[in-house]
Amino acid sequence: MNRRTVLKTIVAAGATLPLLGAKALAAGATPAPAGKVAFRLGVASYTLRGMPLENALQAVKRVGLDTISVNRLHLPWENSPPGWTSQLAKFKESGVTATCVGVLTLKDDEAQMRTAFEYVKTMGVPLFSCSPARAALPRLERFVREYDVRAAIHNHGPENEDWPSPHEPWKAIQSLDPRIGLCIDVGHTYRAGADPVQCIRDYRARLYDIHLKDTAVPVGTKKDEPLEVGRGVLDQRGILQALIDTGYSHTVWFEYEKSAEDPMPGLAESVGYVRGLLRGLGAT
């Protein structure tokens, strides 16, 4: 399916594909029937990093979505708890729900990790994405057990030594509590030389988070050139089909990084393109 066909599908559908998926991110969602979507679409707030929180929440609504993953640029997790709780009313007022926070960079430090988990607890989310130091994994395991939340390790591409692709965190977590899983960033995965489609299929058992994007650069490139979803080199149809086939039941986050100053046109285009692809796949 080419881009023109997808865009025609969007117009024909009036961009009215309903918000997708199961609301429960907590354990054990039942896979959707073949060809059906079990996941939601949401916006990673890093996309809207040039906006204050109030404007970012309204931007999510403007593209027809109601779920956000909160980045520290909108709500720094290093702040004291009063700094967090004073912001929570803004989410309720906007009608946008935070179901994830991240990406949290975690050191092998008891106080820092405690602060991170208290932040997650205060936000009331069942999941966060993170980039832990390898030495911090035993401490991370202890904290996910204490707080009973999921931690999804985010891969960062070939410029990152610890977690360039999903292969490295997958190997590292095999002996750890199953609440520790993966956040697959499809663009970074591709640049690191791994196949995002195959990684989704291979690591579905502990795949808790997806960052959806597109890129113009070839494999191995350390400096990304982000694009609107559908304009770059990634197999977006294959990515969505893999998520459907594996019964992925969490959230797919649009992380559009091309323009911090004016992200709305590119974000809206990306959302519309993905909705058109899902319509074309018969995934309603």
Q: List the CATH number of the domain containing 180.
A: 3.20.20.150
pLDDT of residue 253: 98
Question: For the chain, how many structural domains are there in total?
Answer: 1
The two tokens of residue 172 are: 């590292």
Task: Give the sign of the dihedral formed by CA 83, CA 89, CA 91, CA 94.
Answer: negative
Beta bridge pairs of residue 129: 152
Which structural domain range is residue 151 located in? Answer: 3-280
Q: Can you give the pLDDT at residue 272? A: 97
Pairing of strands 226-227, 214-215: antiparallel
d(CA 203, CA 180): 12
Q: What is the pLDDT of residue 86?
A: 79
Q: According to the model, what pLDDT value does residue 96 have?
A: 96
pLDDT of residue 35: 59
Q: List, run by run, the mean pLDDT of 10-residue segments along the chain (284 residues).
A: 47 37 35 70 97 95 97 85 78 94 96 95 95 98 98 97 97 98 98 98 98 97 96 97 97 95 97 96 79
* pTM (predicted TM-score): 0.87
